[in-house]
Structure 1
Amino acid sequence: MSTLRLLVITYYWPPSGGAGVQRSLKFVKHLPSFDVEPTVITVDPEKGAYPVLDLSLAADIPPSVRVLRTDTSEPFGSYKKLTGRQQIPYGGFANESKTSLTQRFFKFVRGNVFIPDPRRGWNRHVLRAVAELYAKGERFDAVLTSSPPHSTQLIGLELKKRYNLRWLADLRDPWTDIYYHHELNQTPLARWLDARYERQVLEQADAVLVTSPDTKRLFLGKSPSLSSEKFHVLPNGYDESDFREPSTPPADALLITHTGTITETYHIELFLSAMDECARQNPDVPLRLRFVGKVSDGVRRQLEENDLTERTELISFVPHDESVSYLLRSTVLLMAIPDVPHNLGILPGKVFEYLAANKPIICIGPCDSDAANLLDECGAGRVLPYDAYGAMLEHLNNLCELWRANSSLDLPRLTHTRYSRRALTKQLAKLIKAPVSS
């Protein structure tokens, strides 16, 4: 079988850190095994803007894969100078406080001038890089554009028009339905233009990849001309090579670990209250909490209010391989779905790594979500609604009882690999090779 040549266009790429970068990275890592030769076009890290860095992820880039890095034209340099802030805002200013007049101004500019997002200035540099490749006689069979930033999808729109490439639009998150979209204070004209871009991408892409069934449902409703067959649910998955270390739950504590960002919008305050009460009811069980990643000031206050400060270990952002190690050195894993609009389709990438760690999972969030369905399918844990204090306390007490009998609560190892990065990349390769419909 001949090898197909694929352009992969993604803003987030090592040394960028965070969950978003790993999807494209793992696809690229495994694609050569399925007769697909990827060429990656990304931003020059000296010119781009990443919320976090993770130098360890570069080890996953196959030596045979060509990575082209381009210049960019973005507003974040001016933003830093005008505000005096060194860290760029998440979600394109959407996470910034509303109390400051300056922040409200920048949020308005972000929502009404930079449509669909502030990284659109990168697009022309990518298009120039692709044009130079074609001028040298290079040709590609398909292009995959990964977003957010959703402005990256406009690159795919243009490349399909110029070169008639088979185009796969990989949307890791919703677009105009993203939970913070209403905070952008868009004018009716800006909302119309943003929705128009979204609709054009969905209608003109040859295939649309999404990470959860509910996200597929949201996108399907954007245009009457869209068919279900165009959409393909490819979740984030886990990489088996990341889980070579043995599981070593502590023998001297029932340790519950959460990895990633946690803020007040995740509404774990009742769970923390149940933790405090459980500790009182089970004084012989050394109950411990560990957060690895960014913990908001509000959650820190909740820990203090529930007398959990002495029981809690806070660890700032760590490289991905260290994060996996923390999972394997835990008794139970905690995750939460943010209490925001359209949260039924939120399927965090870490849930698959939680599954691969073979630990019982406690999920705080809606019981009819895609995350809940996944945990039920795999028999991997319990989903508890935000307000289910009694169920939380009962579940924690049951875990204490089990821990008394055996300090390791590890589950049986996964008997299937359908959610492995390699298996998901195999599905992607089939989509790349699928014939273009007339």
Structure 2
Amino acid sequence: MLVITYYWPPSGGAGVQRSLKFVKHLPALGVEPTVITVDPEKGAYPVLDHSLAAEIPAGVRVIRTDTSEPFGSYKKLTGRQQIPYGGFVGENKTSLTQRFFKFVRGNLFIPDARRGWNRHALRAVAELLAQGEQFDAVLTSSPPHSTQLIGLELKRRYGLRWLADLRDPWTDIYYHHELNQTPLARRLDARYERQVLENADIVLTTSTDTRRLFLEKSKALRPENFHVLPNGYDEADFQAPSAPPTDALLITHTGTISETYHVELWLSALAECRRRHPAVPLRLRFVGKVSEEVRRQVEANGLLDCTELVPFVPHDESVGYLRRATVLLMAIPDVPHNLGILPGKVFEYLAANKPVICIGPAGSDADRLLRECGAGQAFPYGAYEAMLEHLEGLVAQWRINPNLDLPTLGHARYSRRALTEQLVALVRGSDGAMG
């Protein structure tokens, strides 16, 4: 089986986890994967995590190729060393240079700025096939959604069974409007998306609502070809025992958080709970990228003295912070189509067996998952009273027993191995996925 993915160790962050964990478990399930990815010396990764390389099975062949991307010019012209997320979006576009790159990204690099990798990846596959190699299927993982065009071309040239694994929406992604695409560029982007969805043998999504969004793109689509295969957790990451603190009620958030996540009222509720219960040592910890606006909100609520800000850490360390928390905090960004946003970390939160506080829309896929597993619920962005009541309930429980760990939750079907078993069933042509 060919696995084609741009993000691969030493790339870090959430994007690399899904393909890596599939590949980790495929050999034990009788599938021999060959990975096609970019040479890390030539590619562009927002973050690095060298610890993930240890999870690649020793016998797995990884072919790293050259690429042709605009990020070198971007660094030279802007003086920035960090690659922007989402291909030049989500930044403060104040300078003429930034506005220029934003326009170029949206209108000349369609569907995204990493499309320059495609011809190199296609050449690598062609060389393998010319040598007599045979593959039962090819899986293309995105974003970057330009990777799906590799699968489209392989399907056209060789008729390979193709699984298009789309971790996020495409033209419905929340930042898509920031690209300032011309009508022509929008039509081309939508056409690429439609061609991928119509030609893939199997389309995998990570949430029910994202599946719904894709099925609305064309009347020619067959719902039975679209499967929800969510992200998950790796049991091997959670072998160490839980170790919540005994001297504080510690609430931990891991990953990126910005003002679009709208946690300001929750922070106000936490501050009020702290005022009402001064004898209970409430602590807050953010592990990962925290925007300046969220830092300002922490300060405005008088929480700086009880808040710890930890910068990005390797994945194994991030899991350690989950084990050492009392309660876990997550938030869904307040953006269009957020009912289907189901962060990969929510499954690791479940595996940690901690109570989970989710700030986001009620009735979302994340809300349903937390309720289904008995781990918590989502609190809408404006539900101050409900947030405060919930925090006070946690304080009351903590007074009785500072270990708030939950019984083993009903999350076994979200283990990476169980999800890879479903992937294998689809590769072999049987219907094994959820949704």
How far apart are residue 342 of structure 1 and its match? 0.4
Match of 1:155 among 145, 150, 173: 150
Structure 1 partner of 2:16: 21
1:403 maps onto 2:402 in alignment: no
Structure 1 partner of 2:413: 418
Match of 1:287 among 276, 282, 289: 282
Larger displacement relative to structure 2 (20-29 or 408-417): 408-417
Q: Hey, what's the Cα distance between the residues in 2 that align with 1:306 and 1:435?
A: 54
Match of 2:57 among 55, 62, 66: 62
Match of 2:266 among 271, 292, 307: 271
1:319 maps onto 2:314 in alignment: yes
1:33 maps onto 2:20 in alignment: no
- Correspondence 1:183-202 to 2 at 5 A: 183-202=178-197
Structure 2 partner of 1:335: 330
- Correspondence 1:326-405 to 2 at 5 A: 326-405=321-400
> Structure 1: any 5+ residue segments left out of the alignment?
1-5
Q: Which amino acid aligns with 2:372?
A: E
Q: Which amino acid aligns with 1:24?
A: S
Structure 1 partner of 2:68: 73
Match of 2:227 among 189, 209, 232: 232
Q: Which amino acid aligns with 1:192?
A: R
How far apart are residue 435 of structure 1 and its match? 7.2
How far apart are residue 100 of structure 1 and its match? 2.2
Larger displacement relative to structure 2 (210-219 or 27-36): 27-36
Q: Please give the per-residue CA displacement for 1:411-438, whole angstroms capped at 9, x wherever unaligned.
A: 00135510000000000000001179xx
Partner secondary structure for residue 291 of structure 1:
strand
Structure 1 partner of 2:94: 99
Partner secondary structure for residue 218 of structure 1:
helix
Partner secondary structure for residue 15 of structure 1:
coil
Q: Hey, what's the Cα distance between the residues in 2 that align with 1:281 and 1:383?
A: 23
Structure 2 partner of 1:3: none
How far apart are residue 172 of structure 1 and its match? 0.2
Q: Please give the per-residue CA displacement for 1:244-294, whole angstroms capped at 9, x wherever unaligned.
A: 110010000000000000000000000001111100000010000000000
Q: How many residue pairs align between the two structures? A: 431
> Structure 2: any 5+ residue segments left out of the alignment?
none
How far apart are residue 47 of structure 1 and its match? 0.2
Partner secondary structure for residue 430 of structure 1:
helix
Match of 1:215 among 210, 215, 224: 210
How far apart are residue 96 of structure 1 and its match? 1.6
1:50 maps onto 2:39 in alignment: no
Q: Hey, what's the Cα distance between the residues in 2 that align with 1:417 and 1:360?
A: 17
Q: Which amino acid aligns with 2:385?
A: G
Match of 2:3 among 4, 8, 14: 8
How far apart are residue 98 of structure 1 and its match? 2.7
Q: Hey, what's the Cα distance between the residues in 2 that align with 1:48 and 1:79?
A: 13
Q: Which amino acid aligns with 2:187?
A: W
Indicate if the aligned counterparts of 2:350 and 2:411 stay in contact, CA closer than 8 A.
no
Q: Hey, what's the Cα distance between the residues in 1 that align with 2:426 and 2:418?
A: 13
Q: Which amino acid aligns with 1:45?
A: P
Q: Hey, what's the Cα distance between the residues in 2 that align with 1:331 and 1:392?
A: 17
Quote the sequence identity (%): 79
Indicate if the aligned counterparts of 2:350 and 2:375 stay in contact, CA closer than 8 A.
yes
Q: Hey, what's the Cα distance between the residues in 2 that align with 1:57 and 1:111?
A: 32
How far apart are residue 81 of structure 1 and its match? 0.2
Q: Please give the per-residue CA displacement for 1:116-142, whole angstroms capped at 9, x wherever unaligned.
A: 000000000001111111121112111
Q: Hey, what's the Cα distance between the residues in 2 that align with 1:298 and 1:383?
A: 22
Q: Which amino acid aligns with 1:394?
A: E
Runs (4+) of structure 1 moved beyond 2 Å?
Answer: 98-101
**Quick one: structure 1 residues 376 and 415, their matched pair in 2 at CA, closer, same or farther if it must change by over 3 Å?**
closer
Q: Hey, what's the Cα distance between the residues in 2 that align with 1:435 and 1:322?
A: 37
How far apart are residue 60 of structure 1 and its match? 0.7
Q: Hey, what's the Cα distance between the residues in 2 that align with 1:325 and 1:119?
A: 33
Q: Which amino acid aligns with 2:369?
A: L
Q: Hey, what's the Cα distance between the residues in 2 that align with 1:50 and 1:153?
A: 19
Q: Hey, what's the Cα distance between the residues in 2 that align with 1:103 and 1:273?
A: 35
1:125 maps onto 2:120 in alignment: yes
Q: Hey, what's the Cα distance between the residues in 1 that align with 2:137 and 2:191?
A: 24
Q: Which amino acid aligns with 2:195?
A: Q
Partner secondary structure for residue 138 of structure 1:
coil
Alignment RMSD (CA, Å): 0.9
How does the TM-score come out when normalised to structure 1? Answer: 0.97
Q: Please give the per-residue CA displacement for 1:164-221, whole angstroms capped at 9, x wherever unaligned.
A: 1000000000000000000000000000000000000000000000000000000000
How far apart are residue 228 of structure 1 and its match? 1.2
How does the TM-score come out when normalised to structure 2? Answer: 0.98
Q: Which amino acid aligns with 1:48?
A: G
Q: Which amino acid aligns with 1:227?
A: R
Q: Which amino acid aligns with 1:107?
A: K
Partner secondary structure for residue 146 of structure 1:
strand
Q: Please give the per-residue CA displacement for 1:390-418, whole angstroms capped at 9, x wherever unaligned.
A: 11111111110000000000000135510
Q: Hey, what's the Cα distance between the residues in 2 that align with 1:87 and 1:169?
A: 29
Q: Hey, what's the Cα distance between the residues in 2 that align with 1:374 and 1:90?
A: 27
Larger displacement relative to structure 2 (425-434 or 128-137): 128-137
Q: Which amino acid aligns with 1:359?
A: K
Structure 1 partner of 2:247: 252
Q: Hey, what's the Cα distance between the residues in 2 that align with 1:197 and 1:287?
A: 50
Q: Which amino acid aligns with 2:9?
A: P
